[in-house]
Amino acid sequence: MVLHQNRLIKKLRGKKFRNVVTSSKKLAVSQAHWRLRSSFVLAVLILAGYAGNYFNLSLFFGVDFLFGSIAVLMVVWLYGIGWGAVAAMLAGSHTFLLWGHPYAGIILIGEALFVGWWRRKCPNLLLLDGFYWIFVGMPLVWLFYSIPLGVPSQTVFLVMFKQGINGIFNALIASLLLTHSPIPTWADRPKIAKTLSLQQTLFNLLVAFVLFPALTLLVLNSRSAISNMEKTIQANLETVSTDLAIEVRFWHQQNLNALKQLAEVAVHSDIKSSIKLQESTELLQRTFSTIDQLFVMNREGQTLSFAGIGSTIASYSELEKTITESIGMKASDLTQPSITSQVLLIDDHHAPPRLVQIVPIIRNYRLVGSVVSEIDLSHLAQLLKSFTTLREMEITLLDRQDRVITSTRLDMPTLSKFKQRQGGEIRPLNDKVYQWLPLGEMPIMMRWKKSFYVQKTSAGEKLPFQVIVAVPTQPHFIYLENLYIKSLSILLLITALALAMANVISRWLAQPLLQLAELTTDLPDKLLNQKAIHWPNSWITEMNTLVSNSQFMAELLEQKFHEINAAKEQLEQRVQERTRELSTANQELELEVSKRQRVAEALQESEALLRTQAKDLETALYELQHTQAQLIQTEKMSSLGQLVAGVAHEINNPINFIYGNLIHAQDYTQDLLRLVELYQQHCPNFLSIMQEEIEAIDLDFLKDDLPKLMDSMQVGAERIHEIVQSLRSFSRLDEAEVKAVDIHEGIDSTLMILKSRLKATLKHPGIEVIKEYGQLPLVECYPGQLNQVFMNILVNSIDSLEDKFTYNAEENRPSLDSLPWIRIYTEIVKEDWVAIRISDNGMGIKKDQSCKLFDPFFTTKPIGKGTGLGLSISYQIIVEKHGGKLYCVAEPKQGAEFMIEIPLRQTRG
């Protein structure tokens, strides 16, 4: 007895030990899974911190709204201060790439450290972050941007307010995600509460209802202000450029008209020096103060009249050389008719740069001379300055070679090559206007402040001038900066008030609930010990209703406790009675369960036997169907082969006799016709009776028609001979064994037999056969059986094409635009296999029918038109007989393609 007890104790201990080991393994697997999932969530949050700063929201002047601290604060809250600092450093590294200084990253790291340090004492993330930005973060922004970066105080205010609002907004988003998203559940951190705090939820929602609309309006207004500023600048640039171009064109046209009048005077003076020409030249030079020198030259380049400063000969010699070098011509070419009026910028290194305007002198449609004027550039300089008197902008006038004619910029002397300001970034706005931003070690906001908006415009199609107008951004920047500082300061004040009010309101609303929860924590013990309960009061109706319900519930509980104690004794008695009844019923149940188990085992054995018999019947049915199909096909092939061979043999003998004698008949006919012709030529006195007979039989027609008749008979005999050869080739009764044959010959023989079905009829058009034969060697196969496969597939294609391409009874034309075709393509694949592809553009095959194509007795044709054995037998011939592959690719209404693949050499058993 004792030994039995010891064995029983050992068994129980072993079973308990195995259960403990199994539980330990499950616990280890669960912990590994938890660590992996928690690590994955941590990695995603760290990367999200960097991505939040990378995919930022641009507000204005390079001031960006960053979102990286959302993920950083979540890492701090879920994983602690260590991982939070790592996430902050990674996210803050992008601010260095974005703004060119590390101070924003330092402030972000400080935020993570501050919140991570104080989170144990204050569980409100948003309130903690608000304290950080108001008392730590914003002062750090002022310190870093003012001293190391040297940013003006007004700009520092803008950045400081923006950073504070940005940080509080991100903390609000992080707090909402931590309380209302499954991310903490995924992280599965043990120290994170699984339930929501009502006070925290109310606090977050109250701040969100204030901050979200205000921030949205701020972003929309800031973008609208920037857009309006750029539109205003573009409008000013367009207005100034257009007005200046009009003024330059008017000045040019005024000078041009005057020079044309002087050209007309030269024509009336017969292109010779005269007093009138000289007086007109001097008058014109005095009238237009912008003209320094004025020349009139003949075709040979001689000066006819001159007015202005300097000697005539010296000025012209230098001018002529400069003009010809500028336009790339010789002096004699200046009088060619192809030269029209021109404006050139001249620099002869002996005088200040000047403009030269040339007008040709035309008489009788010939160029006989030129009028040349030197123009002072001071007038154009004054014109440009007049546009900048009331506007703060820079204007430059360029020639075709982008050389400066005149400019309001002091760093752009005349004749210098126009270049953009050094070290700048170009930001295109449209086809004409772009923004230039300086580079260098400065914040992006300072680059915006020192930027220019520039527009380049042509002065006119016939005038080789370009107008460049540049407007500084600084005045607009200062105005918008003040506007944004006011908006951000108001928003920051509203945010601070919202934080304070939300904290007070959330505590006030949640305090009665906390008191009620504390009161009801040990309510049963208090009721049993009859302790006094002081119920809380609230100004909120719902709270008072909840307190009243709790009080009523407590009274009911106290009453129920007394009833339970009374019923407890009765219950113990009834339990004993029920225990005895259950023991009896349990024994009866065990007998019934044992009986049913035996019945269930018998049923399982019967079911297994039935399944085996059903499977055997299914296998026998499948084998019977295949055997029946093979017997039918064998009998059909045997009868068809004997019939074809017999027909071919019976037709072949008389056809050979007819075909052989037609050659001799043609020779005899030609000899008789030549004899008749010779007789007519050498017997002029031909008997009249014979002549009448010749006319009666129409000998000329007989001579012409008889050779044609013989040729037609020969063609018909050759056609019958080809059909007989095709029938013999197709039947191949003597080729039941494996032989090396030409695949193309078998296909052509099959097509010859089906040639009548390929022709056009009254019901459908003719079917075009497209042969794309490759270079195939002789293939070992069963020729007769392979030809039967070709026959079955081609007949199916012809039936499908006849169903699809049927003439419309009303219009007597095909119902489809395309014509029927069958394409046969052969090639070598895998080096030792032959592929035959037969495709058509017929009716195609439905998807639910494709899987049944090669089943015995399955057909898509109407009753009486097909047996359903053709493709099944074809599949057996290709796969089982030849060890090949046969499959079909088809779509409804899109045609079908059958692909046959067999090896070049058959394996001989």
The Cα 846–Cα 836 span in angstroms is 23
Quickly state the pLDDT bin for 314 (edges 50, 70, 90).
Answer: very low
**Residue 541 pLDDT class (50, 70, 90 cuts):** low
| Placement of tokens 């014509």 in the chain | 819
Q: Write out the residue limits of the CATH 3.30.565.10 domain(s) in the chain.
A: 737-903
User: Is 0.75 topped by the overall pTM?
Assistant: no
pLDDT band with cut points at 50, 70 and 90 for residue 838: very high
Q: Write the DSSP assignment of 714-757 as a string of letters.
A: HHHHHHHHHHHHHHHHHH-TT--S-EEE-HHHHHHHHHHHTHHH
Torsion of CA 687, 689, 695, 699, to 10 degrees: -60
CA atoms of 481 and 63, how far apart (whole Å): 11
Average pLDDT score over residue span 120-139: 83
> Rounded distance, CA 131 to CA 272, Å?
95
Query: Which of 318-327, 427-436, 514-523 is predicted with the least confidence, judged by mean pLDDT?
Result: 318-327
From the list 386, 389, 367, the residue with the least C-alpha distance to 378 is 386
Q: Does position 338 have pLDDT exceeding 50, yes or no?
A: no
Q: Place 333 in a pLDDT band, splitting at 50, 70 and 90.
A: very low
Domain 269-376 has what CATH class?
alpha beta
Q: Name residue 211's beta-bridge partners.
A: none
Asked whether residue 621 carries a pLDDT value surpassing 90, the answer given is: no
Question: pLDDT: is 413 or 15 the higher one?
Answer: 413
**pLDDT tens per residue, range 813-833:** 554 457 899 999 999 998 889
Backbone phi and psi for residue 90, each to the nearest 5 degrees, phi listed first: -65, -45
pLDDT for 99 beyond 80: no
Residue with tokens 């010990």, as numbered in its chain: 529
| Phi and psi, residue 633, nearest 5° | -65, -40
Tell whether the model's pLDDT for residue 582 goes beyond 80.
yes
Average pLDDT over residues 305-310: 78
What φ, ψ does residue 838 adopt, rounded to 5°?
-120, 115
Round to whole Å and give the CA distance between 248 and 459: 7
Which CATH number applies to 737-903? 3.30.565.10
Tens of pLDDT along 848-895? Answer: 777 777 776 666 666 545 555 577 788 888 888 888 999 898 888 788
φ, ψ for residue 427, nearest 5 deg: -120, 100
More confident residue, 765 or 463: 765
Task: State the pLDDT confidence band at 325, using cuts at 50, 70 and 90.
Answer: very low
Residue 5 has pLDDT above 60, yes or no: no
* HSE-up (13 A, CA, CB side) for residue 859: 16
- The pLDDT of residue 550 is 66
Q: How far apart are CA 30 and CA 36, in angstroms?
A: 10
The arithmetic mean of pLDDT across residues 313-318, rounded, is 46
- Token output for 334: 């200046």
Q: Please check the confidence at residue 755 and state whether its pLDDT lies above 70.
A: yes
Domain with CATH 1.10.1760.20 in the chain: 27-196
Contact 253, 465 (CB under 8 A): no
Q: Which residue spans of the chain are classified as CATH 3.30.450.20? A: 269-376
Condensed to tens digits (0 to 9), the pLDDT of residues 443-452 reads 666 777 778 8
Report the percentage of the chain scoring pLDDT > 70.
68
Highest average pLDDT, of 243-247, 694-698, 712-716, comes from 243-247
What does the alpha-carbon distance between residue 265 and residue 272 come to, in Å, rounded to a whole number? Answer: 10
Q: What angle do CA 739, 743, 745 make, to 5 degrees?
A: 105
pLDDT band with cut points at 50, 70 and 90 for residue 546:
low
Q: Could you give the 3-state DSSP secondary structure of residue 33?
A: helix
Q: Is the pLDDT of residue 44 over 80?
A: yes
pLDDT on residue 330: 43
CATH class (in words) of the domain with range 27-196: mainly alpha
pLDDT at 555: 64
Q: Which of 16-25, 91-100, 104-113, 689-698 has the lowest mean pLDDT?
A: 16-25
Is 74:174 a contact under the CB 8 Å cutoff? yes
Above pLDDT 90, what percent of the chain? 5
Cα–Cα distance between 324 and 329 in angstroms, integer? Answer: 5
Q: Which two tokens stand for residue 638?
A: 């045997």
Distance from C-alpha of 266 to C-alpha of 259, rounded to nearest angstrom:
11
| Of 232 and 798, the one with more pLDDT | 798
Q: How many whole angstroms separate alpha carbon 269 and alpha carbon 708?
A: 97
Output the average pLDDT for the chain.
74
